Amino acid sequence: MPALTYCITESAVPIEVSSAGVAGMAVESVEHSGLRCFVSRSSSSDAMLGPPAREAALAFHRVLQEIFRQTAIIPFRFPTVLSDEAELTGHLGEHAAEYHEALGRLRDVVQMEVRLDLEGSQQGAPERQTGTGYLKGRQAEQAALEKLAGQFQEAGRNWIRGWHQHVSRHHIRCYALVSRRGVAEFERALVVVDVPPRVSARVSGPWPATEFVSEE
């Protein structure tokens, strides 16, 4: 029977799930190789993928958040549907070592995110500047965002166990690995950072530590 997969946890951790899954389906668990995978089953994958996309995604993430509040999880992308239990247990067995390593390493930590967006940037300016002037402006904007990201990292360093950041054209997303118990202190520490008027800084979390599942 097809199974919509939610996430993987260590099987030794007792978990309670009261939320209904996607399309109101029950949430069950399958244990294999010391791992527990949470799923919803249906005789047809159409029942899993039939609800409106937004409604289905919200139900999926409600289940993830309920489990995540209790323990570390490795979530699947939505929607990941496996054909039957044999495929599911085969996947767990094949990747057991890496899942155990990641879940053990991330057992007591969560992911916090800091997103920095530059408002009114150079994105609409090329027609009013020379190519060189526009490029220099973009470089200056990028340098300012990266400097600010460094200030956030420094402000929270006493609580940060890992830090990744991804740079895009007009924003930077920073990911901090923080103790579950240290979230409030981490958030308070970031308040001291002086954010320039043209920059929007948004702190969110805690989230599953998906950015840190791989140590690479």
What is the tens place of the pLDDT at every residue in 49-97? 666 788 999 999 999 999 999 999 999 999 999 999 999 999 999 999 9
What lies within 8 Å, CB to CB, of 172 at 6+ separation is 115, 116, 145, 146, 148, 149, 165, 166
Of 130 and 123, the one with more pLDDT: 130
Q: What domains sit in the chain, N to C, each tagged with a CATH number?
A: 3-105 (no CATH), 109-212 (3.30.70)
Exposed (0-12), middle (13-18) or buried (19+): which is 206, by Cβ within 10 Å? buried
Structure tokens at 193: 């950072």
The predicted-structure confidence for 137-190, as pLDDT tens digits, reads as follows 677 788 889 999 999 999 999 999 999 999 987 899 999 999 999 999 999 999
Percent share of the chain, pLDDT over 90: 76
H or E element that contains 175 = strand 171-179
pTM of the predicted model, to two decimals?
0.87
Q: CB count, 10 Å around CB of 214?
A: 9
Residues facing residue 198 across a β-bridge: none
